[in-house]
Each structure stands twice: as C-alpha cells, then as structure tokens.
C-alpha cells in the first residue's frame, strides 16, 4: 500500500533525528517532509489518462501502454537522484519565484538531456515532467512553511525519494531501478513463501511493521505522546478468524481481504479516539486511535495467518 512508503520514511527519519539529538520540532518536520516526497513517485499512475489525452483515442492498447510506465522512470534511482538534487538546489533560495525558476531550469535541462541521449517518448517525458513538477511545487511549499536547513531538507527529500522503489519489490512488477539505462536489479518480485496466501500475509505484516515503526518513532520524538493499547483492538482476532469463511486470498485477489481488515481497524481506531477523555488534545486522541486501529489490523492478520495454517494447510 502507498501509505506504507510514508510510514517507513517517517519512522526512519524520525528515529534518526532522535539518535542524532535533533530538536523534536525539527525532527517532526524532517520526517513529515520525507513522507510527503516519498509519495510523489506514484504520480506516474496518472499516465494512463494522460496517454489517452495525448492520442485523443481512448483505446485499450493506449491504456495498457501507459500502465507499463508505472514503476519505470519515476521509480528509477537515476531520475530520483537527479530530482532530489534539483529540489535541494532550488530550496537554497528564499524567493518562491527564484526557486521555481531554478528548479524549472534544472528540470528542463534534465528533460532535454534524457530526450536526446535516451530518445524517450513523449509519454515518458511527461511522466518525468509531472513527477518533477510536483516535487518542485512541494519544495516551494515546504520552504515557506518549515524552519529546517538546506542540509536537513536534502536528507528528507533524498530519503523520501530514493527509499520509495525498494518498498515496491514485494508487490506487482518490480521497479526499473536504473531506467532509462539497461541495468536491472530485480528480475521478479521478492517472495516470502511459495504459498500465495502465506506470502500475502507476510507482505501485509511487513506493511504493518512500517506502521509500528512510524508509531514508535513518533512516540520517541513527541514528548507528549502516550502509547496505549486499548482492549477493543482484540476484536481484530475475531475479524481474522471470520475471514477464514471466504476463499483464501492471494496477492492478485487481495483487495477484499485488505479492505475488510483495514476498514475494521479504521472503525475501531476511530471509535477509540472518540472515547478518549475530552481533556486530551486532538493529537493525543488521534495517536491513540492510530495505535488501536493498527493493533486491530495486526491482530486480524496474525489470527488469519494462524487460522489459515490450521484450516487450509
């Protein structure tokens, strides 16, 4: 899931800020900024409608072609590294117009070089333009609202962008890590088990681990955070066993399973947040709700995995 990228980057950057003794408010800013940047590579999902518009003919072939560009150029360490450098260079200026001018010039130069050297297609150039433009816009907004230094911004931006493709090696088609170069890092996605359902459970648990990493790091960087586990979260155990009544899910048919568990955890977490004492701040209640919902989902997935091994294997 896309949120797993944000949780992981937030957890890594927040934990690092604590270890190096960074001030809590700056550590939070660095972690949040990194989380924002790590979501940007998935903007290549808009390529299908863009390609249809480019051809002016909404054919199945055009949509399929655009779909093959997902996890390609915007997930390349080459492109991600170049965009992070452009954003860091633009961040140095205090003027938004200067930032956009410097960043736009750098992005334009990048597009020109890649179009000439690698003969990229218009839709491929469009993917870099959309992604790079969003990164520059994020840089401009962040610079006007944050108090972190250029070095700290560079760390947050680079970590957010460069860590993203490594989180996609377990689901779907592995990213093209060095596009447009012909080098390849992964030929196929990584698997935990030859049993497709057990493999799905392990991947789900890996996603949940990123959530727990983010929650733990937030507690370490936010002095007022009070981690607590509400007993209502154990309802997830019954949810997991209840899902055994349905056919075992796989990575390709996991939508109903994932949504069922996540929605259950979201509802339980929201209820717990609403039941918290009114004297608590909104942040404290939201954090408790998040912990409770995350625990509910974790209990559900673990109980389903145990039940699956008992019933189906």
- State pLDDT tens for residues 7-42: 999 999 999 999 999 999 999 999 999 999 999 998
pLDDT score of 210 more than 90: yes
Report residue 53's pLDDT band, with 50, 70 and 90 as the boundaries. low
Report the phi/psi class of residue 71: left, alpha or beta, with left for phi > 0 and alpha for psi in -120 to 50: left
pLDDT digits (tens, 9 = 90+) for 237-254: 998 888 888 889 998 888
Measured CA to CA, the distance from residue 160 to residue 158 in angstroms comes to: 5
pLDDT score of 148 more than 90: yes
Max CA separation in the chain (angstroms)? 63
Determine the pLDDT at residue 1.
67
User: Chain-wide mean pLDDT for the chain?
Assistant: 87
Ranges 25-39, 48-62, 141-155, 182-196: which has the least confidence: 48-62
Report residue 54's pLDDT band, with 50, 70 and 90 as the boundaries. low
Determine the pLDDT at residue 303.
95
pLDDT score of 46 more than 90: no
Determine the pLDDT at residue 49.
61
When pLDDT is averaged across residues 154-165 and rounded to a whole number, the result is 96
Report residue 135's pLDDT band, with 50, 70 and 90 as the boundaries. very high
pTM for the structure as a whole: 0.89
Determine the pLDDT at residue 134.
95
When pLDDT is averaged across residues 124-131 and rounded to a whole number, the result is 88
When pLDDT is averaged across residues 289-295 and rounded to a whole number, the result is 94
When pLDDT is averaged across residues 203-218 and rounded to a whole number, the result is 95
pLDDT score of 136 more than 60: yes
pLDDT score of 60 more than 70: no
Determine the pLDDT at residue 50.
58
| Of 148 and 229, more confident | 148
pLDDT score of 215 more than 90: yes
Each domain of the chain, given as residue ranges in start order, spans: 2-168, 196-311
Determine the pLDDT at residue 190.
82
Determine the pLDDT at residue 96.
83
Report residue 66's pLDDT band, with 50, 70 and 90 as the boundaries. low
Report residue 218's pLDDT band, with 50, 70 and 90 as the boundaries. very high
Determine the pLDDT at residue 51.
53
When pLDDT is averaged across residues 137-158 and rounded to a whole number, the result is 94
Determine the pLDDT at residue 242.
87
């Amino acid at each position: 899931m896309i949120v797993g990228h944000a949780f992981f980057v937030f957890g890594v950057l927040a934990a690092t800020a604590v270890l190096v003794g960074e001030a809590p408010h700056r550590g939070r800013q660095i972690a949040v900024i990194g989380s924002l940047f790590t979501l940007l590579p998935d903007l290549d999902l808009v390529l299908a409608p863009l390609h249809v518009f480019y051809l002016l003919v909404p054919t199945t072939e055009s949509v399929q072609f655009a779909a093959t560009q997902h996890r390609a150029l915007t997930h390349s360490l080459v492109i991600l590294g170049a965009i992070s450098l452009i954003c860091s260079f633009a961040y140095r200026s205090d003027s938004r117009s200067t930032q956009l001018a410097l960043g736009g010039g750098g992005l334009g130069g990048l597009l020109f070089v890649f179009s000439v050297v690698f003969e990229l297609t218009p839709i491929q150039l469009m993917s870099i333009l959309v992604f790079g433009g969003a990164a520059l816009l994020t840089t401009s907004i962040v610079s006007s609202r944050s108090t972190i230094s250029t070095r700290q911004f560079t760390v947050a931006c680079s970590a957010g962008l460069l860590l993203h493709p490594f989180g996609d090696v377990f689901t779907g088609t592995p990213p093209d890590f060095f596009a447009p170069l012909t080098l390849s890092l992964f030929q196929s996605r990584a698997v935990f088990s030859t049993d497709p359902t057990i493999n799905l459970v392990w991947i789900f648990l890996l996603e949940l681990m990123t959530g727990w990493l983010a929650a733990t790091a937030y507690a370490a960087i936010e002095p007022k955070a009070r981690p607590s586990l509400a007993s209502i979260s154990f309802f997830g155990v019954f949810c997991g066993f209840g899902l055994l009544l349905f056919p075992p899910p796989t990575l390709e048919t996991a939508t109903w399973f994932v949504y069922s568990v996540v929605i259950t955890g979201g509802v339980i977490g929201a209820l717990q947040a609403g039941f918290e004492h009114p004297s608590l701040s909104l942040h404290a209640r939201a954090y408790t709700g998040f912990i409770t919902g995350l625990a509910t989902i974790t209990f559900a997935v673990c109980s389903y995995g145990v039940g699956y091994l008992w019933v189906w294997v």
